[in-house]
Amino acid sequence: DARVTQTPRHKVTEMGQEVTMRCQPILGHNTVFWYRQTMMQGLELLAYFRNRAPLDDSGMPKDRFSAEMPDATLATLKIQPSEPRDSAVYFCASDDFRGAGELFFGEGSRLTVL
């Protein structure tokens, strides 16, 4: 059963702390996305990679967020320092670049920054 795996599922932290979220895309998928979902803004694209190369991170606050893909089986999203306004559900999604936008989402990492 191929699926996108995200860790941690839940994270509560204090303002100023570093947060790292991890994603294992579906084996064979060469495109990985990071989305953030809030009630106010809905789903927002933060960044995406193809063949491990970052293609677009224009949706990401550059001063505190960073996204990397150290290898084909791992994508990371880091927030340093975290702020209360970062509280959201962060989703990772992957696909095999067939062009139709058929993304497979993980179950998300629910972040609360106090």
Partner 1 sequence: QKEVEQDPGPLSVPEGAIVSLNCTYSNSAFQYFMWYRQYSRKGPELLMYTYSSGNKEDGRFTAQVDKSSKYISLFIRDSQPSDSATYLCAMNNDYKLSFGAGTTVTVRA
Point out which residues bind partner 1 (CB under 8 A): 4, 31, 42-43, 45, 48, 56, 91, 93, 97, 99-108
Least distance in angstroms from the C-beta of 101 to partner 1: 4
CB 79 within 8 A of CB 64: yes
* Nearer residue to partner 1 within complex by CB, 45 or 74: 45
Q: How far apart are CA 95 and CA 114, in angstroms?
A: 34
Least distance CB 81 / partner 1 (angstroms): 27
- Nearest distance, CB of residue 16 and partner 1, angstroms: 27
Residue 64 phi/psi, 5-degree rounding, is -125, -15
Nearest by Cα to 112 from 1, 35, 8: 8
